[in-house]
Amino acid sequence: VLDSQYGMYVWPCAVVLAQYVWAQRGSLPGKRVLEVGAGVSLPGVLAAKYGARVVLSDSEELPRCLQNCRRSCLENQLPHIPVIGLTWGRVSPELLSLAPVDVILGSDVFFDPKDFEDILSMVYFLLEKNPHAQFWTTYQVRSADWSIEALLCKWKLKSTLVPLHSFGADKEHLASSSLPGRHTIEMMIISLAQSDGT
């Protein structure tokens, strides 16, 4: 039976995002990286292994997920990585006091449509504070009816699809899962839209 706290598993999206992190490994040393909805933290832990200064976060309402983040750090000999509680859509002292970031990571955070705007409002807040930053995210296509396009426009954000073959993530074994159902994974980079409306 799956735990109701979804962050207790390595989902296919995390593997694909970790593959992108690996493909970008040469640019990571010294970069400031925040992983949101980190769960078991595979992408963030990998970024730290390649020299990024990483902060891991998951919902402050899910202490077991935060504990899982800490356990992943310890298992990977990275006890110094900060793990903080950040709840999507909530302005908290932890969010307000975050150090500058260059990259935000989020694997499979676009899971439940009721959370989409909360996620994008937090991403917008972080990108406004760090205009050069990017949000690297992978998501599983679960419904043709689900889209974040209108919300991207509302929050003055733009997305660029990253083809999986461009970073070697189009291999069956990377995005496969023993869980039932189809596992079509997409990757995109979200950034601030330019003031000219693009």
170: tokens are 């189009």
- Provide the 10 A C-beta neighbour count for residue 6: 15
Question: Which among 174, 73, 151, 162 has a CA at the least distance from the CA of 84?
Answer: 73
Average pLDDT over residues 74-80: 94
Cα–Cα distance, 67 to 143 (Å, whole number): 31
Q: Which CATH architecture has domain 14-192?
A: 3-Layer(aba) Sandwich (3.40)
102-113 confidence digits (pLDDT tens): 999 999 898 888
Beta strands across the sheet bearing 134-140:
83-85, 53-58, 32-35, 103-107, 134-140, 185-192, 157-161
In the chain, domain spans: 14-192
Cα–Cα distance, 100 to 8 (Å, whole number): 28
Provide, for the chain, the percentages of residues in helix, strand and coil under a 3-state DSSP scheme, each rounded to the nearest 5.
35, 20, 45
Cα–Cα distance, 147 to 32 (Å, whole number): 29
178-193 confidence digits (pLDDT tens): 555 556 889 999 999 9
> What is the predicted pLDDT for the residue at 168?
87
- pTM value is 0.88
CB 190 within 8 A of CB 134: yes
